[in-house]
Copies of this chain bind each other. A is one copy, B any other.
Amino acid sequence: MTPFKIAIVDDNSFLIQAIKEKLSFFDDLTVKHTSLNGSELLAKLAESHHIDLILMDIEMPILNGIETTQIVKHKFPQIKIIMLTAFDNDEHIFNAIKAGADGYLLKEIDPPVLHQGILETLHGGAAMNPSIALKTLKLLRNPIGIEHHHDLEDVSLSKREVEVLEQLSTGLPYTAIAENLFISPSTVRKHIENTYKKLQVHSKIEAVQKAKRYNII
Q: List, in ascending order, chain B residues with CB within 8 A of A169's CB.
A: 77, 205, 209
CA distance A204 to B205 in the complex (A): 8
Chain B proximity mask over A66-80: 1 for CB below 8 Å, otherwise 0: 000000011111100
Q: Does A198 contact B (CB under 8 A)?
A: no
Query: Do A136 and B137 have beta carbons less than 8 Å apart?
Result: yes
Query: Do B159 and A124 have beta carbons less than 8 Å apart?
Result: yes
CA distance A73 to B124 in the complex (A): 31
Q: List, in ascending order, chain B residues with CB within 8 A of A120's CB.
A: 130
Whether A180 contacts B130 in the complex (CB less than 8 A), given A136-B136, A137-B102, comes out as no
Instruction: Give the number of copies in the complex.
Output: 2
Instruction: Kindly identify, within residues 159 to 217 of chain A, every residue whose CB is under 8 Å from any CB belonging to chain B.
Output: 159, 163, 166-173, 176, 179-181, 201-206, 208-209
A50 nearest in chain B by CB position: B182
Query: Do B126 and A127 have beta carbons less than 8 Å apart?
Result: no
Query: Do B141 and A140 have beta carbons less than 8 Å apart?
Result: no
Q: List, in ascending order, chain B residues with CB within 8 A of A134's CB.
A: 102, 124-126
Query: Do A140 and B139 have beta carbons less than 8 Å apart?
Result: yes
Query: Do A78 and B128 have beta carbons less than 8 Å apart?
Result: no
Q: List, in ascending order, chain B residues with CB within 8 A of A143's CB.
A: 143, 146-147
CA distance A156 to B128 in the complex (A): 27
Main secondary structure, interface of A, reads: helix
Whether A121 contacts B125 in the complex (CB less than 8 A), given A97-B140, A171-B205, comes out as no
Q: Does A13 contact B (CB under 8 A)?
A: no
CA distance A147 to B164 in the complex (A): 26
Chain B proximity mask over A116-152: 1 for CB below 8 Å, otherwise 0: 0000110111111111011011011101001100000
10 A-B pairs within 8 Å (CB atoms) are namely A74-B171, A77-B180, A94-B140, A103-B133, A125-B133, A133-B136, A140-B146, A146-B146, A169-B205, A171-B209
Known: A97-B141, A133-B133, A143-B146; 15 extra A-B contacts, CB below 8 A, are A74-B171, A76-B180, A77-B170, A77-B172, A78-B163, A97-B137, A98-B141, A100-B141, A121-B130, A124-B134, A126-B133, A126-B137, A136-B136, A139-B140, A205-B205
